[in-house]
Amino acid sequence: MSELVVGPRRYRIAGIADLVTSRMPYTIRILLENLLRHRDRIPRSHLEAVLEWGSERSFATAVDLRPARVFLHDTNGVPLLADIAAMRDVAERADAINPRIPAALVVDHSVIAEVFGTSAAFERNVDVEYERNAERYRFLRWAQASMRNLDVVPPGKGIMHQVNLERLAQVVMTDGDWAYPDFCLGTDSHTTMVNGLGVLGWGIGGIDAEAAMLGEAVTMLLPPVVGVRLTGALPVGATATDLVLTITELLRAHGVVGTFVEFHGEGVRRLALPDRATIANMSPEFGSTCAYFPIDEETIRYLRFTGRPAEQVALVEAYAKAQKLWHQPDSVADYTEVVELDLGSVLPSLAGPRRPQDRITLSAAASALDAELASEGRVGDEHGVVGIAAITSCTNTSNPRLMVTAALLARNAVERGLTSKPWVKTTLSPGSRVVTDYLDAAGLSPFLQELGFHLTGYGCMTCIGASGPLVDELQEAVRDKGVTAVSVLSGNRNFAGRINPDTRLNYLASPPLVVAYALAGTMRTDLTREPVGHSPDGTPVFLSDLWPTADEVTEVIDSVLTPEMFTQAYRAVYTGDARWENLGQADGGRFAWDPASTYLRRPPFADGPVTHPVPDIEGARVLVMLGDSTTTDHISPAGAIPVDSPAGRYLTDRGVGRFAFNTYASRRGNHEVMVRGAFANVQLRNQLVPGVEGGYTLSLAEDGQVRTVYDAAMAYRDAGVPLVVLGGAQYGTGSSRDWAAKGPALLGVRAVLAESFERIHRANLIGLGVLPLQYRPGENARTLGLTGREMITIRGLASMEVASTITVQADEREFHVVVRLDTTREQQIYRSGGILKLVSQRLAATI
């Protein structure tokens, strides 16, 4: 141990300066510090592997990491805290079950853009939010009052990652006389946004987060580190959004799944910290575990700019320099691979219509849309209308340059007499109150409002599918006449069926381009060549006529944005408004479950004995057979709950009116609703029922009838038949939704066979006792001749080893698959029936 003196304070630190070399990546240095500080709780081989990082042996070594804090949002946080409440029910002393490390939950995923285009939108949406979620929010107030080490940021404060970036993240944390890196793991995959601030962190599943909160280590194989060398500078007219879409396309094509990404090169110094945060936010979209920018002068400038205390800023700089975590731009690490990007090559872009990595230059957007429509046999001028234009998501609303550019473009449009088209749903849902404060101070808010971009709420909203209904006339045209509507949003994801059930095609774009498409009203307008609209006298107005100069944007930012604005916005970050304070809260160490509740039911995941040895899977049937890039949006229920769905019928049977259905996200605390929504995405394509979209499958327990996935699973359960899922490559991409594993587990799925797995989803499957199995290289369901109608048997589960190969029998055919239990801890979790059973056993032994 070493000592660090900062002003009048002395801190103990786990000194790594003498252990690292200039060639070690900064992310690996942070892992080294973590292991060194906890060296009495880990095998010596973990430290040795990190010191030998880059060798073949190091990449084969799993290490036990302990985050400094855990970060949650309400839709993942409510079921997570419900699991802890359920553990308290069976514990001898309820008050002994608490988070062992600091945890913060931000309520930002429940507000819906129901009302828009009016100055009353914000208040009316928040009123509806509380009407629908009061029960969940009272539960959160109980948890905050009864659990130590848990803070809750009430609704209306902002989006979790922007709140983290602007206020909660400390970069260097203290505990007593100890100082150490702010190593943050969160239940949302975009936790990586804080990498832009020099904080190492990434998304983990809610199951792993729960275990980490309760004192368990997070185990991972030491990763390769891909260095991204940035050179040059962004050209005039290119935005941070264009840059991140370019990086997303580049790195997804290169292949960085399971790696750390670290940015270096002269171009990094030309990126303001909000630009870095925009890039880091999109790490899950290019597939990496994290996307890290080391601490440097820009980090310190941003901490001061956002009103962090002077003593905290001084600690960050002193600690980073003492621990060799301060970026030295002239020294380059021995990265596993290096990818290069000239910032000067970035062009104005969008991404879509279904994946963030599918970048399209703005000049090609209209023709690409026409090609997409033609491929689906959709021809005619009515197709391609913009149904939603949403300035949303922490990804881009955390970036003042992007927001001011959008507002100035709106001002210029209004002054030219332009208006948004009446069929476009225009929404503004920023990730921080600071955004509306500086837009108000600059006098720019009225221009956005003139175009319909009134404040609808401070939450994720459209980016997570809480977009509300379209304009009535367009919604009718979509549903009754088959018109293809699109959405344009400044978000980070546009997976099929995610944004809105009535927008078939969805495109990611910068905030100013969102405004431009609201003016145009259609994606079939080429904004680089055709007018975005016409002034009242008929004069064509082009996008280039409206786009503000860089100097104009800088002048606005410099004139209104101050540290005091951030300090004021976050002065009472854990105090809610009158609605929150008037909710009341339950008392006591054990939560009083209401058997009539349709929001909160006591979860079953830690119940039941652990079965040793693990039983084989015999005579299983395929529940669904899916293709490549199946996302957690396809697997886990999200968005609105259809009336005629199994979940909708469940709610109706319990007297819940249609308007009160709320979203699947808001009902994640009720496993009865959620299990009925598993594999129910409206655009799910199950190869067992070709030509059918949605949550349907072939029920071989009922003579091959086509049934909903839930109904088929229940028929299999009644017949005592276990289930498996067949998937393709990149199975489980997208959000870190624990319900993408919980839902299948409750349906009776015992194993998933796929070509490859996204990291977080694979961990979630293991955490629920579902076995991930990977086809050998060059093999998949097609090459093996699988139809999904076979009877599947998987034996040898009790004796399988880490990353071993086992045999699968499908009718008369046999083939080998790789067991994707990559570490001994994952093997232990699986053999315990899931991580919650494992943690419950350990807690019971210590209380």
pLDDT tens, 97-113?
Answer: 899 999 999 999 999 99
Examine the pLDDT at 92 and tell me if it is beyond 70: yes
DSSP string, 43-74: -HHHHHHHHTTTSHHHHT-EEEE--SEEEEEH
Within 10 angstroms of residue 323's Cβ, the number of other Cβ atoms is 25
Examine the pLDDT at 584 and tell me if it is beyond 90: no
Q: What is the pLDDT of residue 734?
A: 78
Q: What is the pLDDT of residue 612?
A: 67
Q: Look-up: residue for tokens 């929504």? A: 677
Angle between helices 74-90 and 835-846 (to 10 degrees): 40
Q: What is the pLDDT of residue 716?
A: 97
Q: Look-up: residue for tokens 């252990």? A: 19
Token readout for 386 is 């913009």
pLDDT tens, 535-551?
Answer: 999 999 999 999 999 99
What is the SS3 assignment for 686?
Answer: coil
Using the 8-state DSSP alphabet, how is residue 165 labeled? I
Q: What is the pLDDT of residue 71?
A: 96
Supply angle C-alpha 252, 757, 205, rounded to 5.
100
What is the SS3 assignment for 176?
Answer: coil
Q: What is the pLDDT of residue 610?
A: 67
What is the share, in percent, of the chain residues with pLDDT greater than 70? 99
3-state SS string over 497-509?
A: CCCCCCEEEEEEC
Taking residues 151-161, report their average pLDDT.
96
Cβ burial, residue 715 (10 Å; 0-12/13-18/19+): middle
Q: What is the pLDDT of residue 662?
A: 81
Q: CA-CA distances (angstroms) from residue 769 to 615, 699, 742, 829, 832?
A: 12, 24, 9, 7, 8
Question: Do residues 573 and 163 make contact, with C-beta atoms less than 8 angstroms apart?
Answer: yes
631 forms beta bridges with: 733
Cα of first residue to Cα of last residue in the chain, in angstroms, is 31
Q: What is the pLDDT of residue 95?
A: 79
What is the share, in percent, of the chain residues with pLDDT greater than 90? 83
| Region class of 198: left (phi > 0), else alpha (psi between -120 and 50), else beta | left
Question: Do residues 447 and 561 make contact, with C-beta atoms less than 8 angstroms apart?
Answer: no
Chain Cα centroid distance, residue 680: 20
Q: What is the pLDDT of residue 845?
A: 66
Q: What is the pLDDT of residue 293?
A: 98
Domains, the chain, ordered by start: 69-345 (3.30.499.10), 351-569 (3.30.499.10), 617-636+678-846 (3.20.19.10)
488 forms beta bridges with: 389, 507
What is the SS3 assignment for 734?
Answer: coil
pLDDT tens, 545-582?
Answer: 999 999 999 999 999 999 999 999 999 999 999 999 99
Selected residue with higher pLDDT from 736 and 825:
825
Selected residue with higher pLDDT from 605 and 117:
117
pLDDT band at 352 (very low <50, low <70, confident <90, very high): very high
DSSP string, 313-355: HHHHHHHHHHTT-B--TT-----SEEEEEEGGG---EEE-SS-
Q: What is the pLDDT of residue 737?
A: 80
Q: What is the pLDDT of residue 847?
A: 59
Instruction: Output the average pLDDT for the chain.
Output: 94
Selected residue with higher pLDDT from 260 and 464:
260
194 Cβ partners below 8 Å, 6+ apart? 161, 164, 165, 169, 184, 201, 277, 280
Question: Do residues 46 and 80 make contact, with C-beta atoms less than 8 angstroms apart?
Answer: no
Examine the pLDDT at 736 and tell me if it is beyond 70: no
Q: Taking Cα atoms as reference points, which of 561, 304, 37, 165 lies closest to residue 312?
A: 304
Q: What is the pLDDT of residue 349?
A: 98
Measured between alpha carbons, how far is 352 from 355 in angstroms, rounded to an integer? Answer: 5
Taking residues 502-518, report their average pLDDT.
97
pLDDT band at 330 (very low <50, low <70, confident <90, very high): confident
Token readout for 374 is 């033609």
pLDDT band at 528 (very low <50, low <70, confident <90, very high): very high
543 Cβ partners below 8 Å, 6+ apart? 516, 527, 528, 532
Within 10 angstroms of residue 469's Cβ, the number of other Cβ atoms is 17
Measured between alpha carbons, how far is 704 from 677 in angstroms, rounded to an integer? Answer: 21
Examine the pLDDT at 751 and tell me if it is beyond 70: yes
Question: Do residues 157 and 458 make contact, with C-beta atoms less than 8 angstroms apart?
Answer: yes
> Longest C-alpha distance within the chain, in Å?
80
689 Cβ partners below 8 Å, 6+ apart? 696, 697, 698, 706
Question: Do residues 111 and 238 make contact, with C-beta atoms less than 8 angstroms apart?
Answer: no
Examine the pLDDT at 339 and tell me if it is beyond 80: yes
pLDDT band at 239 (very low <50, low <70, confident <90, very high): very high
Examine the pLDDT at 703 and tell me if it is beyond 90: no
Q: What is the pLDDT of residue 611?
A: 66
Taking residues 181-204, report their average pLDDT.
96
pLDDT tens, 42-66?
Answer: 999 999 999 999 999 999 998 999 9
Measured between alpha carbons, how far is 404 from 511 in angstroms, rounded to an integer? Answer: 9
pLDDT band at 842 (very low <50, low <70, confident <90, very high): confident
pLDDT tens, 360-391?
Answer: 999 999 999 999 999 988 888 899 999 999 99
Examine the pLDDT at 846 and tell me if it is beyond 70: no
Taking residues 634-655, report their average pLDDT.
91
Q: What are the strands, taking DSSP E only, across 232-375?
A: 260-264, 290-292, 337-342, 349-351, 359-361
Taking residues 804-831, report their average pLDDT.
93
Buried b (16+ CB within 10 A) or exposed e, 210-239: bbbbbebbbbbbbbbbbbbbbeebbeeebb
Supply angle C-alpha 118, 124, 125, rounded to 5.
100
Phi, psi (rounded to 5 degrees) for 548: -75, 160
339 forms beta bridges with: 228
DSSP string, 507-526: EE--HHHHHHHHHH-BTTS-
Measured between alpha carbons, how far is 404 from 272 in angstroms, rounded to an integer? Answer: 15
Q: What is the pLDDT of residue 90?
A: 77
Measured between alpha carbons, how far is 293 from 203 in angstroms, rounded to an integer? Answer: 17
Measured between alpha carbons, how far is 21 from 663 in angstroms, rounded to an integer? Answer: 51
